[in-house]
Amino acid sequence: MADTDRKPDATMSIPDEAKVGEVSRLLGESGDLRDARLSAYRSLAVATLPDRVQHLWRFTNPAHLLPGDPAAAAAAAWPVAVAAGAAAAARIVLRAGTAPVVNVSPEAAAAGLAVTPIVSSADLAAHAGDEEGAAFELFRGLNEALWNCGVRIIAPRGAVLGAPIHVRVQAGAGAVLPRIVVEVGEGAEVTLVEEHTGGRLGTRVVGRTELVAAAAARLHHVLVQRWEDGINGHLTARARVGREADLLTTFASLGGDRAKVELLTDLAGEGARSEMMGIAFGTGNQRFDHHTRHRHLACNTWSNIDFKAVADGSSRSSYTGLIRIEEKARASEAYQENRNLLLSSAGRADSIPELEILNEDVSCSHGATVAPVDPAQVFYLQSRGLAPGEAVRLVVQGFLAKAIDRLPDGTREAVAGLVDSRLEGLRGRAA
């Protein structure tokens, strides 16, 4: 499945303006939020597809990610129960065309956790900051104008949640455009698990998550994508990290046919820290396109990126990572590493690390590798009595283990299980 067509489609189908009002009515929104949608729609109506010569779109044709009718929600036929599982501060289910299904634990409610539908423009006031560059405009505009399920999560100052908040975005049929807004107050500690599941052939997902971590907050954002076959999607998570606050982002891309994921973090306060750790495991003809960006806007900030991808079959993983350190962000540190493991001759990986350093008083480095499994490692394991396929399986497990181990309980076991199921096919494979 190669996106070899270099030119974007000449035309782009955007739902007419009446769909904006229809989606707004489905969700029971206020007039000011409907007006905000219409404002975004008017910009969207004259937007064009990102040009394939733009480096953030060279590996993915945006036409393949465009959603259809966002108001055609068959949500009534989808499961609405909040699934049981590991302990959770809250469990939330998002389905196109309906209000969120929410279950908050008594302990989290006592700590002040608030989980509410997005019904007015004030619910979107806490945003992660503006983006620059035309590459972000189309899909940002699609979600702003036509998002069809959403939730606002607020952890007040000093709240410490001992269990994660689980948000499950159910990709049913047609177009799914989730909007998640998260505000973590000063000194609060929160783990948010955002899981994208389900889907049917032809489903398109355009998701947007915005996270704000106030001063001295601790936020762990987990983004897991495990769609069914036949799903294409574009997911964006934007975060703004305040003074002395910590953000850990762990992510896993495993499902769907085509997925583009953008993780964009601004280190806005002095002493802010951000770490991203993630994996992608492609099989068959899957295509994963990841873009990460750390912007250091204040002094004494720190960031680190560790992204590992595995490509089996004819799958392809593409990664572009930008570190930008602004002129006023002195004494900052930034690191970036992308390692790719190819399990077949047809698998492919692209890695483009980028640095924009506007201050000399910084420490910054990056690295990238693309290689097959090390035959010396396989030989060593074979010398200990393992079959070639089993040896490769253990090497891949070790390659991904660091990121998987950082996932919270419940999510870690689910992701490890999916990885193991894909590795089962290696047992009988010759070296």
Q: Is the pLDDT of residue 5 over 70?
A: no
SS (H, E, C) the chain: CCCCCCCCCCCCCCCCCHHHHHHHHHCCCCHHHHHHHHHHHHHHCCCCCCCCCCHHHCCCCHHHHCCCCCCCCCHHHCCCCCCCCCCCCEEEEEECCCCCEEEECHHHHHCCCEEECCCCHHHHCCCCCCCCCHHHHHHHHHHHHHCCEEEEEEECCCCECCCCEEEEEEECCCEECEEEEEEECCCCEEEEEEEEEECCCCCEEEEEEEEEECCCCEEEEEEEEEECCCCEEEEEEEEEECCCCEEEEEEEECCCCEEEEEEEEEECCCCCEEEEEEEEEECCCCEEEEEEEEEECCCCCEEEEEEEEEECCCCEEEEEEEEEECCCCCCEEEEEEEEEEECCCCCEEEEEEEEEECCCCEEEEEEEEEEECCHHHHHHHHHCCCCHHHHHHHHHHHHHHHHHHCCCCCHHHHHHHHHHHHHHHHCCCCC
Assign 77 a pLDDT band (cuts: 50, 70, 90): very low
Inter-residue contact 325 to 359 (CB < 8 Å): yes
Q: Which two tokens stand for residue 106?
A: 């008594």
CB atoms within 10 A of CB 131: 16
Residue 430 burial (10 A CB sphere; 0-12, 13-18, 19+)? exposed
Q: Report yes or no: 145 and 37 within 8 Å, Cβ to Cβ.
A: yes
Residue % of the chain over a pLDDT of 70: 89
**Which of these, 289, 310, 308, lies nearest to 2 by C-alpha position?**
289
What was the pLDDT predicted at 352?
Answer: 94
Mean predicted confidence (pLDDT) in 27-45? 87
Average pLDDT over residues 178-199: 96
Return the pLDDT at 337: 96
pLDDT of residue 135: 40
Q: How confident is the model at residue 52 (pLDDT cuts 50, 70, 90)?
A: confident
Across the range 287-296, mean pLDDT stands at: 97
Half-sphere exposure of 121 (CA within 13 A, CB side): 12
Low-confidence winner among 41-55, 195-209, 286-300, 354-368 (lowest mean pLDDT): 41-55
Over residues 328-373, the pLDDT tens digits come to: 999 999 999 999 999 999 999 999 999 999 988 999 998 999 999 9
Average pLDDT (101-120) is 95
Q: Map out the domains of the chain as residue ranges.
A: 18-372, 375-431
Lowest mean pLDDT among 10-19, 148-157, 385-394: 10-19
